[in-house]
Amino acid sequence: MNNINSELTRLIENQKDNFPLEQKFFTDKQIFEEDFKHIFSNQWVFIGHISRIPNKGDFFITEIANESIIVVRDRGGDINCFYNVCRHRGSHICTKTEGSLRKLVCPYHAWTYNLDGSLSNASMMDDNFKKEEWSLIKCNKNIFEGLIFINLSNKPSDFNEFISPLKPFISLHGLGKSKIALRKVYEIEGNWKLALDNFHECYHCHPSHPEYCDVHSKDYIQSYGAGSNTGPESLSFKILLNDWNKKVDKLGYFRGEYSENKFSNFYRSAERTPFSGGRLSETKSGEPASKLMGKFKEYDGGYTTIGPSPFNSLIMSNDFATCFTFLPKETLKTVVELMWLVDESAIEGVDYEKDNISWLWHETTLADKRIIEDNQKGVLSKEYSPGPLSKMEIGLEKFKNWYLEILKKSINQPSY
């Protein structure tokens, strides 16, 4: 461990400003393991929505690196998250990715658990065996506006502190009274940091994402693109934003922007911005795609972008929400899951069409998969060396610096 810490410290100290990370950060298995331990496991990450498991006994599995998490609704209606590890000899209990069941039964030796995680049956054990001591191990969990957040740390950060600045942005859209219209999973043969680097800049948008560029103006792409202040400021977009802010104030809707103003273990951002060209929704036509959600009584011509953690993003029009979750699987594999949420009363085929609400980000994510995989192939070459970043890649530099600072702090903490 000391060797990897020494090597990581050397790599961190050798990083140059306004250049991407060195090759090892994208290819080394030990660094991936350190990333998972110190970066992913210490973040609150949403992995699903409560509407996916509406009935008692409904469950789904989330797999991240070597961890498998059972998310299940119990008989009292509560949602529980457990490590998918039998307390007997460690077998996975749930071997299917989703479904419904009355109890959690290990397929190896039939240890049986109630939906609240308590052990109900373990046959042929000694007389002094106490079932109450062998419940399933809980995973840290919180639910806000229907989003299920987990944290894999043994000492998780305070959830209320984490969610507090994001509350008004999320609550505006009423995700707690929404449902999943569609889910898609994209497996990407690339390191998780390459996937997130791509998501933190829009330098690649014009050559690679014609759909995104049809929906969003050139001025927005230049100054905001992939999130809060990721490029040089555009005067014309600033004028558009100021005019839109006045309109939103008259309608009485929440607006604003949030970003970390000093270094934090959290990596959060949020903003409300306008569409251009009279668009009302993030669709091909710009026309509404479903019923209004949350607190909206009429369309305000804008949308909300939220980054609760590096591994999540919410992009929400007035009438539907696109939710992103990035899950590190292996050194060279990342899974991206997209959920599209609509109002809980919306009816498919009447109020919305799946292809209409998913068009933009499905096409964009397919293109991103290709881009990231091509990027990873090049980074594996012995001839790879980082090149200078452009003025459109400010977001990538911000993320890199945050990542390096967290990693440096974590590996230098004394262990006892």
Confidence of residue 183 (pLDDT cuts 50, 70, 90): very high
Q: What is the mean pLDDT of residues 75-85?
A: 98
Q: What is the mean pLDDT of residues 139-156?
A: 98
The lowest-confidence range among 189-203, 205-219, 399-413 is 205-219
DSSP letter at 156? P
Q: What is the mean pLDDT of residues 142-152?
A: 98
DSSP letter at 374? H
- Name the token pair of 402: 């945050």
- How many beta carbons lie within 10 A of that of residue 309, not counting itself? 21
Query: Is it the case that residue 53 has pLDDT exceeding 50?
Result: yes
Q: What is the mean pLDDT of residues 388-393?
A: 94
Q: Where are the domains of the chain?
A: 46-144, 164-400
Q: What is the mean pLDDT of residues 210-226?
A: 75
Interior/surface letters 397-413, b for 16+ CB within 10 angstroms, e for the rest: bbbbebbbebbeebbee
CATH number for the region 164-400 comes to 3.90.380.10
pLDDT at 416: 35
Q: What is the mean pLDDT of residues 194-219?
A: 90
Distance CA 119, CA 134 (A): 6
CATH number for the region 46-144 comes to 2.102.10.10
Render pLDDT for 240-299 as a digit per residue (tens, 0 to 9).
Answer: 999 999 999 999 999 999 999 888 999 999 999 999 889 999 999 999 999 999 999 999
DSSP labels, 203-246: TTHHHH-HHHHHHS-HHHHHHTTTSTT-S---HHHHHHHHHHHH
Query: Is it the case that residue 226 has pLDDT exceeding 70?
Result: no
pLDDT at 229: 52
Sign of CA dihedral 185, 191, 197, 202: negative
The rounded mean pLDDT for the chain is 94
Distance CA 376, CA 337 (A): 20
Q: What is the mean pLDDT of residues 358-364?
A: 97
Distance CA 113, CA 99 (A): 16
CA 331 centroid distance within chain: 18
DSSP labels, 3-30: HHHHHHHHHHHHPPTTSPPPTHHHH-HH
State what percent of residues in the chain have pLDDT above 90: 87
Query: Is it the case that residue 415 has pLDDT exceeding 70?
Result: no
Query: Is it the case that residue 116 has pLDDT exceeding 60?
Result: yes
Q: What is the mean pLDDT of residues 346-375?
A: 98
Confidence of residue 227 (pLDDT cuts 50, 70, 90): low
